[in-house]
C-alpha cells in the first residue's frame, strides 16, 4: 500500500469541507449513528464523531485499515468501531441513521459505489435514513483544443510505422485537467440516485449543433455529486479544484466540423468488482443535411495489450 494516495485525499480541502458540511447537516449530537464505507484513513468517521455522532462504524477492506486502526487509537476515538471488511461482505450489519461513502473516482463509478450504496441502503440504513452522496450526474463536452491530442504524435515521430500501437493508445482514457475555453458547452449524459438505481452498466449520449467551423479532437467528461440538499461536489473544469480531474476520451481522427454540422457521442460503461471498469465511446459526425459522414468506435477493450 502506498500512503501517498491517501495524502491527496486528506489534502483535498474542497472534498473534505463538502463532506463535513453534509455530515453536520444530518448528525444529531448523541443520537445519530453513522456507517463510513470505504473509510480509508478514517477522516470522515473522525469528522462524524467530532460532530457528535453516537456511534460510527468504519468499513475498509484495503491494507489502509491497519493505518486507520492506529489513527483511531491515537485520537482516542472511542465512538468509532473499525470493521476490516468490505461492507458487502458484512453479515447482519448494525443499522445506522446515516451511510456515508467517498468511494468516487475520476470516473465516478470505478470504485463500484453503485453496488456498495445499493447494498448499504438495503441492509445498513434505517427506515428514513440518509445517504451521502444522494445523487450524481455525469457530463460530457467536445474538446476543441489539440493540446492533449498532440501527445499521441509521439507514435508518428520515430521514423517507423507504429500505427498499431497508436490505435491502441487512442482506445484509452486519460486523466487530465482541461480549461473551459478548450471545450464546447457541456451536456448531461447520465444521472443516478444512489441506493435506488442499482444498474452498474450505464449508457447515455449527447449531441452538439456546430455554430461555426471547428475541429473536435476528443471529449472531456466529469461528474457532479449532490451530497445533501444544497451541498454539491464537482469535478467540472470550472468547479473548485479537487484531487480529481476530468477524463479525456480521444478520437482516432479529429472531426473537422462545419457550421450547421452535428457532432454526437454515445458513452457506455460497465463496472464490477470481478471485471473492473470498461468504458466505450462512439463519436459521429453528420453534415448540415443530417447525413452521417464519419463514425468512430473506441473502447478500453481495444486498448489492452493482447
Measured CA to CA, the distance from residue 136 to residue 276 in angstroms comes to 20
Return the CATH number at 77: 3.40.50.150
Residue 184 shares a structural domain with residue 269? yes
C-alpha cell at 111: 470504485
Q: Judge contact between 19 and 42, C-beta under 8 A.
A: no
Beta-ladder partners of 224: 137, 234
Residue 292 shares a structural domain with residue 168? yes
Give 177-220 pLDDT, tens digit per residue: 999 999 999 999 999 999 999 999 999 999 999 999 999 999 99
Residue 16 shares a structural domain with residue 144? no
pLDDT of amino acid 186: 98
Residue 92 shares a structural domain with residue 173? no
Is the per-residue pLDDT at 32 higher than 70? yes
Query: How many other CB atoms are found less than 10 A from the CB of residue 148?
Result: 18
Final residue of a structural domain among 82, 102, 122: 102
Q: Percent of the chain beyond pLDDT 90?
A: 96
Residue 281 placed within a domain:
yes
pLDDT of amino acid 306: 75
Is the per-residue pLDDT at 263 higher than 90? yes
pLDDT of amino acid 254: 98
Query: How many other CB atoms are found less than 10 A from the CB of residue 51?
Result: 18
**Span 170-182, mean pLDDT?**
98
Distances (CA, A) of 23 to 34, 105, 181, 306: 9, 20, 35, 46
Q: Which helix (H) or strand (E) holds 227?
A: strand 214-228
Give 219-256 pLDDT, tens digit per residue: 999 999 999 999 999 999 999 999 999 999 999 999 99
List the Cα angle 188/291/148 in 5-degree steps: 50
Q: Judge contact between 100 and 23, C-beta under 8 A.
A: yes
Return the CATH number at 291: 2.70.160.11
Final residue of a structural domain among 102, 121, 148: 102
Beta-ladder partners of 295: 284
Residue 117 placed within a domain:
no
pLDDT of amino acid 274: 79
Residue 79 shares a structural domain with residue 164? no
DSSP class of residue 203 equals: E
Residue 112 placed within a domain:
no
Residue 196 shares a structural domain with residue 87? no
Final residue of a structural domain among 102, 126, 148: 102
Residue 131 placed within a domain:
no
Q: Which DSSP string corresponds to 191-247? A: EEETTT----EEEEEEEEE-SS-EEEEEEEEEEEEEEETTEEEE--TTSPP-S--EE
Residue 118 placed within a domain:
no
Angle between helix 64-74 and helix 43-50 axes, rounded to 10 deg:
30
pLDDT of amino acid 69: 97
Residue 56 shares a structural domain with residue 159? no
Coil, strand, or helix at residue 239? coil
Residue 8 shares a structural domain with residue 76? yes
Residue 92 shares a structural domain with residue 170? no
Domain that holds residue 184: 136-302
Q: How many domains does the chain have?
A: 2
Residue 271 shares a structural domain with residue 164? yes
Q: Judge contact between 126 and 96, C-beta under 8 A.
A: yes
Residue 181 placed within a domain:
yes
pLDDT of amino acid 273: 78
Indicate the pTM of the whole model: 0.96
**Span 77-81, mean pLDDT?**
97
**Span 126-145, mean pLDDT?**
98
Q: Which helix (H) or strand (E) holds 68?
A: helix 64-74
Q: Judge contact between 215 and 245, C-beta under 8 A.
A: no
Residue 129 placed within a domain:
no
Residue 244 placed within a domain:
yes
pLDDT of amino acid 1: 64
Residue 166 shares a structural domain with residue 229? yes
Residue 81 shares a structural domain with residue 187? no
Amino acid at each position: 500500500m502506498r500512503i501517498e494516495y491517501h495524502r491527496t485525499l486528506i489534502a483535498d480541502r474542497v472534498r473534505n469541507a463538502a463532506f463535513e458540511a453534509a455530515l453536520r447537516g444530518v448528525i444529531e449530537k448523541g443520537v445519530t449513528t453513522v456507517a463510513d464505507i470505504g473509510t480509508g484513513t478514517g477522516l470522515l468517521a473522525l469528522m462524524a464523531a467530532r460532530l457528535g455522532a453516537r456511534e460510527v462504524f468504519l468499513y475498509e477492506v484495503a491494507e489502509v485499515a491497519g493505518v486507520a486502526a492506529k489513527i483511531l487509537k491515537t485520537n482516542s476515538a472511542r465512538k468509532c468501531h473499525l470493521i476490516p471488511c468490505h461492507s458487502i461482505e458484512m453479515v447482519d450489519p448494525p443499522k445506522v441513521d446515516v451511510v456515508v461513502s467517498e468511494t468516487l473516482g475520476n470516473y465516478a463509478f470505478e470504485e463500484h459505489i453503485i453496488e456498495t450504496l445499493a447494498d448499504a441502503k438495503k441492509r445498513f440504513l434505517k427506515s428514513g435514513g440518509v445517504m451521502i452522496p444522494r445523487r450524481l450526474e455525469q457530463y460530457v463536452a467536445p474538446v476543441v483544443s489539440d493540446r492533449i491530442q498532440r501527445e499521441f504524435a509521439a507514435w508518428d515521430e520515430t521514423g517507423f510505422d507504429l500505427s498499431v500501437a497508436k490505435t491502441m493508445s487512442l482506445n484509452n482514457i486519460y486523466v487530465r485537467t482541461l480549461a473551459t475555453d478548450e471545450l464546447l458547452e457541456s451536456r448531461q449524459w447520465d444521472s443516478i440516485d444512489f441506493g435506488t438505481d442499482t444498474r452498474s452498466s450505464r449508457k447515455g449520449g449527447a449531441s452538439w449543433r456546430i455554430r461555426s467551423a471547428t475541429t473536435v479532437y476528443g471529449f472531456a467528461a466529469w461528474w457532479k455529486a449532490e451530497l445533501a440538499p444544497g451541498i454539491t461536489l464537482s469535478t467540472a473544469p470550472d468547479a473548485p479544484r479537487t484531487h480529481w480531474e476530468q477524463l479525456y476520451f480521444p478520437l482516432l481522427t479529429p472531426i473537422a466540423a462545419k457550421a450547421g454540422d452535428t457532432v454526437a457521442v454515445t458513452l457506455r460503461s460497465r463496472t464490477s468488482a470481478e471485471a473492473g471498469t470498461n468504458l466505450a465511446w462512439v463519436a459521429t459526425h453528420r453534415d448540415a443535411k443530417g447525413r452521417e459522414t464519419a463514425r468512430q468506435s473506441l473502447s478500453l477493450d481495444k486498448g489492452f495489450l493482447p
